[in-house]
Structure 1
Amino acid sequence: RAELPWHALIYKKTFTPYVPICGGSLISTTVVLSVAHCFWTENEKQLPASQFAVAVGKLHRPWNDPTDEAQKSDMAIWAPHPSDEKASQTLQVIEIPYMDVRTCINTSPIDFRAYITSDQFCAGTQQCKLYVSQYI
């Protein structure tokens, strides 16, 4: 059985075929949760949904295990190694603790604080210096 059956891969349409840009988590049979920066431009404009495709269950179909439990604080990422700019070809599993919103706001850069809203959640630590933290 796969270690991360809930993991999704999000693709973006470019001038070439779709390219993988972000990961996500399958949180119901029809909803994938991902990070906001994958769907917005650097000028703070939301990209149209038609530019994206989501792949789930590519390795193990069909997935239907109602008794499978989530693992707290585990996150799956395709983050680049510090010595390489390219995303890993192997899905990495890291443990990142939940952070309450007040702590998240207080420890974030001042320019970023306005983007932390009640419909989001934070993960990490106040001392987080891991290279993967920039992708979460």
Structure 2
Amino acid sequence: MTTHGDEMANGPDGTGGGPLPSGVSADELRARFEAQGQPGLVEERRRDARQARGLYGVFAGVAAVVCLVLMVVRLGQGDALGVWVATYAVGVACGGWGFVLARSGHTRWAMMVTCIGVALAGVGDSPAFR
């Protein structure tokens, strides 16, 4: 970078590589700046985020469907209504909510809500509620 008199603006000796007040040379700052603009890195992060959203969405959807199927099967076998129906219903609701959260990009919340739903379905499937 030059000024009006063809002097280098970065350093006192005109080389442009002199230390700045922070103690870092202009060449080092330039190298750091150029290293930031890696287009492959941005695409890789987007792809990873998209895959995570898809994975958590599938996990939440499968959890909701399994809870729903188990509820229908147990009702079809003639089991009496009880607390287990409520735990399966909450499992279905949590799985659906986890799916919505995953689709909106809140993957941590989606995983937490889905795990809570699966845990409640497991409690509803315990022998204590038969």
Q: Which has the higher contact order (CA 8 A, sep 6+)?
A: 2
TM-score (norm 1): 0.19
TM-score (norm 2): 0.19
Select the structure that is richer in strand.
1
Select the structure that is richer in helix.
2
- Structure with max Cα Rg: 2
